[in-house]
């Protein structure tokens, strides 16, 4: 079992859900990224996503796109990000996964990317722009190494295709809550819970919901049908707003925000 499999197996026996924050590697710098990851896990988060900056993201909204641009403007390299993860991973109890464009994986080499990511301490990769028709080769590489390949299902994905995507995924299935790009939203679609319930009956994989989740109310609404909830833009925005403050203050603000969501997640 991979580290992600172990995490969700443990949470299921305890009837608990995972809170899964997303941070952009290198925004505002890699030292802050490392401190944020350690602070989020220390606060009780169960898994952290590390965004690999990319110039042409296809699903990210303006907040995360801007964070990628800030990191890329500093000429951040994949090797530097992996070095950062290599330093952090032994210090945290939660799995770390990369959110990475398939273009980066392909250019680096499928086997080489997985080997380098795993050596750095990453437990898996979310590859949002990997089409189902091209997923088999990377899925096979990941299976051979017990490295989770997490793929996305959206509200507009045909149901038979959603089942096929689940069959090519491992670790967990990323269910996109809304049609469109990432970003904070006041309301989530009323059919979201029913769609996730339908998919749950057709895959043994944990299903984690992302896009638009930012408030305790969202967490309480979705926790009954999800295995995990992913928070990205709301957290990245807080990091941007706090980047000019002392690191201690930024970490305290991020910890308080994560704590608020964790309280909602554990509220029976």
* pLDDT tens for each residue of 113-141: 999 999 999 999 999 999 999 999 999 99
Residue 116 annotated among the catalytic residues of the structure: no
Q: What is the pLDDT of residue 132?
A: 92
- The percentage of the chain sitting over the pLDDT mark of 70, rounded to a whole number, equals 93
Q: Which residues contact 219 (CB under 8 A, 6 or more apart)?
A: 19, 213, 229, 261, 264, 265
Rounded Cα gap, residues 87 and 119, in angstroms? 11
The H-assigned helical ranges of the chain are 3-13, 30-43, 62-73, 78-88, 102-108, 110-120, 136-145, 159-167, 192-200, 216-222, 233-242, 247-266
Cis status of the peptide bond prior to 28, with omega within 30 of 0 = yes
Regarding predicted confidence, which is higher, 267 or 180?
A: 267
- CB burial of 65-94 (b: ≥16 within 10 Å; e: otherwise) equals bbbbebbeeeebebeebbebbebbbeebeb
Q: Walk me through the domains of the chain, giving residue ranges and CATH numbers.
A: 17-266 (3.20.20.70)
Q: What is the pLDDT of residue 59?
A: 58
Q: Is the pLDDT of residue 48 over 50?
A: yes
Quote the mean pLDDT of the chain. Answer: 91
**Catalytic residue selected from 5, 27, 39, 60:** 60
Residue 134 annotated among the catalytic residues of the structure: no
Rounded Cα gap, residues 170 and 168, in angstroms? 7
**Catalytic residue selected from 27, 39, 49, 184:** 49
Q: Is the pLDDT of residue 3 over 50?
A: yes
pTM for the structure as a whole = 0.92
Which value, in Å, is the radius of gyration of the alpha carbons in the chain? Answer: 17
């Amino acid at each position: 079992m991979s580290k992600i499999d172990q995490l969700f197996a443990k949470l299921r026996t305890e009837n608990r859900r995972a809170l899964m924050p997303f941070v952009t590697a290198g925004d505002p710098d890699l030292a802050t990224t490392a401190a944020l990851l350690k602070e989020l896990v220390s606060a009780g988060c169960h898994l952290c996503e590390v965004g690999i900056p990319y110039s042409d993201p296809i699903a990210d909204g303006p907040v995360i796109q801007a964070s990628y641009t800030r990191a890329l403007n500093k000429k951040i390299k994949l090797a530097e990000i992996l070095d950062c993860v290599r330093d952090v991973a032994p210090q945290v109890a939660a799995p770390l996964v990369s959110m990475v464009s398939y273009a980066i994986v392909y250019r680096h080499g499928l086997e080489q990317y997985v080997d380098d990511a795993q050596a750095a301490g990453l437990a898996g990769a979310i590859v949002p722009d990997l089409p189902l028709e091209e997923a088999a080769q990377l899925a096979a590489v990941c299976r051979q190494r017990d490295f989770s390949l997490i793929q996305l299902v959206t509200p507009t994905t045909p149901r038979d295709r959603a089942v096929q995507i689940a069959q090519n995924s491992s670790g967990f299935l990323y269910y996109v809550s809304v049609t469109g790009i990432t970003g904070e939203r006041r309301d989530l679609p009323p059919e979201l819970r029913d769609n996730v319930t339908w998919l749950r009956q057709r895959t043994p994989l944990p299903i984690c919901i992302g896009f638009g989740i930012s408030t305790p109310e969202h967490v309480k609404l979705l926790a009954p049908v999800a295995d995990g909830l992913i928070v990205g833009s709301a957290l990245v925005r807080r990091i941007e707003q706090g980047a000019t403050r002392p690191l201690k203050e930024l970490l305290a603000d991020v910890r308080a925000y994560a704590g608020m969501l964790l309280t909602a997640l554990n509220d029976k």
